[in-house]
Structure 1
Amino acid sequence: MILNQLDLKSVIRAVPDFPKPGVMFRDITPLFQSPRALRFVADSFIQRYVEADFSHIGAMDARGFLIGSIIAYELNKPLVLFRKQGKLPADVLAQGYQTEYGEALLEVHADSLCEGDSVLIFDDLIATGGTLLAAAQLVRRMGAKVFEAASIIDLPELGGSAKLADAGIPTYSLTAFALDEQ
């Protein structure tokens, strides 16, 4: 049997009231416990991007690293790490942004990209879009452009994918959840 989007949803755990009351957290860790599900996710992204014209993959801290590194390896692309504040050892560029829970700062090594580079930015999910929008701003500050924003999950009711589209950034997600969907 081929794993499809409906099956993919079945390996993403819904955790009510985490990290605060009223939030339905989408936990992708069970996906990594299923070799079949992980292969489906990786293969889906690899097939989408195998012939695409971009130079780098940018992965968001921390769950974006998990799939982003697989995709970078399989597509033979350099991997750029976008980290939470204080995690990178060399000169960084930083960008503040709003999350669904508060404010945060995203950092990237200042020498990660050059003018003319094109970056596929990757995270586990698109919620409010804050992390990916901050990454896009950092990419542009280095003279590069964003090819596309990709995620495993989209939460369209939170408006992140619409904000990315408004910023001229195409998005792609393997599946989407309604906020109240179990």
Structure 2
Amino acid sequence: MFIWPFPIANGGWVDYLRMGFGKQREFIYELARLSGVFSEVSDHGTRDQIAFHYVTQLQISLSEHGWSVNLYMDKSWLEQRNLYNKLQDKNSRKEFIHILDSLLQEGFISSIIYHDGSWEDFEDAREFLREFTNLVDQEESFSFLIGKHLERYSPENHAASILSWVKDQMQILLGAYNYTAWHPSANNYLEF
């Protein structure tokens, strides 16, 4: 039996679900404070919603096309700048290329989503890094994701195996998350 909850869930109104996992709340607030995005927002619900878009996340999503597991960095210039600064070191750059090459060999795809909504997939880690660096240098607004998709009718999309598939893919992405995501002490390359 394939898992497909949408028609049952609420009369077909839901067509896409996404859940993100990221930083501890205090780290989100610190990053948002550094960026200044909370200077005029006082209610906590709005703060949480804004913070969701300013942190690197591991995401699980479900749509009519299937499941996706992603490392996602939204248009957060602080997170992007942190990674950019880290990658100025030759050894860090080599390590990132190795991480990305390993993910690509595992069937993940690296993509950049441009400010106009278009995107480009990269099958080569060096090309991805070149485009990432170029966009940060130009101060362009963009997001990126490194993800894997499981088609709706895939044999793994079965009640007995989908949880294992999702867990396995999240585990594979965890090292890349820890490498790319800002952390106040373990991964802080921001300069103010």
- Larger fraction in helix: 2
Q: For the pair shown, which has the larger CA radius of gyration, 1 or 2?
A: 2
- Larger fraction in strand: 1
- TM-score normalised per structure 1: 0.29
